[in-house]
Chains A and B, each alone.
Chain A
Amino acid sequence: MKILASVKRVPDPATTIRILPDGSGIATDNVKWVINPFDEIAIEEALRIKEKQGGGEVVLMSIGQQTWQEQLRTGLAMGADRAILVRADQPLDSLAIARVMAKIAGDEKPDLVILGKQAIDDDSNQVGQMLAEMLGWPQATFASKVEIAGTKCTVVREVDGGLETIAFDLPAVITTDLRLNEPRYASLPGIMKARKKELKEIPVDSLGVDLAPKLKIKKLAAPPKREAGRKVGSVEELVSVLHSEAKVI
């Protein structure tokens, strides 16, 4: 079984985000770059599926700049078999990214493509669903449990109000939610082995895919700052101010 897992390089979730004065982006000098946490979960799930099946291949896929090699090597160190870096230096919207992934999937012919449900920088939550439509495949988003038996896949999804179970035949696209698994750390032997694993670079222009962005970010601004409140000394005081001052009870 071949599994394609997507990897995005994002600022560490604990980073304090500073917006540039001209609103053109965020300041990156203090940023520590990591694998998008949801993509880490995707890589982990791919590795578990491969281990359970007793064979197969986990291929990582990124669309970004040279520096993204760092995150791909981390994924390889976790245990993935090889990686593809589609080199793109220009900003790409979700449609373009999905198109590039669809092209890669068309060439690689995986049984499963697994991605994080959203990137914690962009927070769009679109690519997996767009990719599934472009490939004409089933989609299972916000997966909290994945079971594969032969070509039949059953996924439990975290939705509003509870858990939904859907089923379909592979190939399919799955996007991960927080509780699908807890990703492993790369071991030292894993890190050593990762250096020798294949990391193929493909220039994005060579794929013949329409990349022109249809969604553009014009500017970033800070949200309105919430005024600091005050500490109260007792429960009695709290209930009193909520009643008389805030008038919410």
Chain B
Amino acid sequence: MRIARAGDELHLEFEAEEAGLLTVLAHQFADVVRDPELDDAPLLATLFPDAYRDDAEAASEFHRYTRDELEQRKIEAAEQIAGTTHEGLVVLDAPTCETWVRALTGIRTMVGTRLGIRADGDEPGEGPLAEIYHWLGELQWVLVDALEGA
């Protein structure tokens, strides 16, 4: 992966393997949010946390009012990554980059949860999935820096 800034745009150069991986993960994320299985409960609890810690009724009402819209936006953001990623040059304008960094948080949460990262101090360990987790973090870090003009 190579990254260069060109004015307000960001130029990402993906290897075929990287583009394929990112696309698959984005689709997986959208699928999990759309149609979760029982195993996905810890991930969903992180993606859609209780807004009230000491008031179950208020927390449940908040979910009732916000969950559909949150799900929709998370799905759309992930699908935007899937729809714009391909091997070679990918050009992101600032609004698209904003959506990417938001979606990458969700995708990293999905991968991190699979790696057992639930609390501070949990390490991703080693192996292909841990490498993917690091790579996603690197990508998000660089995109955020670009948005911040760092």
- A in complex with B: no
Please give the residue numbers on chain B whose beta carbons come within 8 Å of chain A beta carbons, in ascending order.
none
Residues of A within 8 A of B (CB): none
